[in-house]
Amino acid sequence: MNNYGTLFRISTFGESHGPAIGVVIDGCPAGLVIDETFIQSELNRRKPGQSKITTQRKEDDTFKILSGVFEGKSTGTPIAIVIENQDQRSKDYSHIENTYRPSHADFTYDAKYGFRDYRGGGRSSARETAARVAAGAIAKLLLKTVGVECYAYVSQVGDLKAPHYTQLDLSKTEDNIVRCPDATTAEKMIALIDQVRLDRDTIGGVVTGVIKNPPVGLGEPVFDKLHAELGKAMLSINAVKGFEYGSGFDGVNLRGSQHNDEFYSDAGKIKTKTNHSGGVQGGISNGEDIYFNVAFKPVATIMQDQVTVGKDGSEAIVSGKGRHDPCVVPRAVPIVEAMAALVLADFYLRNRAARL
């Protein structure tokens, strides 16, 4: 199923080289001011062709709202958003019709469905994430009405790591093309990505997400824990290989006496001195910053010959053509933010039914 969310629910559709991609947002509360300029600015952050370190595919990614908005406000009915595909150069992809690109979804789609729309990866293309960004923009608008802010930035490229988020000024994320708020690290990252591109290769990275000012009480206690849904949402983004929140994998090495976050009272508000919990305890937000890391593998499409097989099992050689990202994380930043916003917006609405 191509939908996500329980009360704030999105359904995306569309293939890379079909007529359009889009999303239907169902369950957006009525009365929300839908700022179309903001939605476009979010799409612009994700769209290809932004800089020398991203793919040069040209897509305007202009959107059209087909329903659910009247006189500038959400009506409570489904908001359908469509983004037409412009740059469809289908000829680029004829070489993969009968060949399985390594570490792509070509083989698994064929195995599952019997055939596939092979043009540009079809449904498995990261182009689908534009629909998420559009929906996420509306989720962000909803969250802003209660003061919640969703941030993300590039915290690692290859082995280059930025400092911990608490030492960064997150307002500087958009100051450079790699979207790392630490200027020094950003410079090194850009140089590394550029080198990788010249090597006709690709490299992985990490995006860190930070949610500021979350309400206390979001998340459902057992299967739909706040961090479990965040994890699923992030892992559903193309190329993601791992998710951790708060202390994450490093927390494994700590003792309980080091890891526990002591409570204290600050002007009548209960807070924690440290935040290894990453703002979530027992699956429910405690009001501290929610933060998490999302690992992205190196992009599978490389400008080099690779050995593979054809549909019929015969050996074949395949090589990337045209326009691809040497590193996906700079463009993944708005996608991570969008998915985080969708998770939070949904839990925000679900929480309205928690008490009498």
Distance CA 192, CA 198 (A): 10
SS3 278: coil
Burial of 91 (0-12, 13-18, 19+ CB in 10 A): exposed
Distance CA 154, CA 123 (A): 26
Applying CB under 8 A, does 111 fall inside the site for a copy of itself?
A: yes
Applying CB under 8 A, does 191 fall inside the site for a copy of itself?
A: no
Q: Which stretch binds a copy of itself (CB under 8 A): 53-61, 168-176, 178-186, 198-206?
A: 198-206
Applying CB under 8 A, does 164 fall inside the site for a copy of itself?
A: no
- Pick from 36, 41, 62, 73 the residue near a copy of itself by CB under 8 A: 73
Applying CB under 8 A, does 59 fall inside the site for a copy of itself?
A: no
Strands 290-296, 240-245: pairing kind: antiparallel
Query: Smallest distance, Å, CB 83 to a copy of itself?
Result: 10
Length of the chain: 356
Residue 19 in contact with residue 26, Cβ under 8 Å?
no
Binders of a copy of itself in range 122-151 (CB under 8 A): 122-124, 128, 142, 145
Binders of a copy of itself in range 243-262 (CB under 8 A): 243-249, 251-262
| Among candidate residues 284, 293, 288, the one with its CA nearest the CA of residue 262 | 288
Q: Which amino acid is at 166?
A: T
Applying CB under 8 A, does 11 fall inside the site for a copy of itself?
A: yes
Query: Smallest distance, Å, CB 171 to a copy of itself?
Result: 25
Binders of a copy of itself in range 269-328 (CB under 8 A): 270, 272, 276-278, 281-287, 293, 295-302, 304, 306-309, 313-315
Applying CB under 8 A, does 343 fall inside the site for a copy of itself?
A: no
Query: Smallest distance, Å, CB 317 to a copy of itself?
Result: 11
Distance CA 14, CA 85 (A): 9
Residue 78 in contact with residue 107, Cβ under 8 Å?
no
Q: Which stretch binds a copy of itself (CB under 8 A): 54-62, 88-96, 171-179, 268-276?
A: 268-276
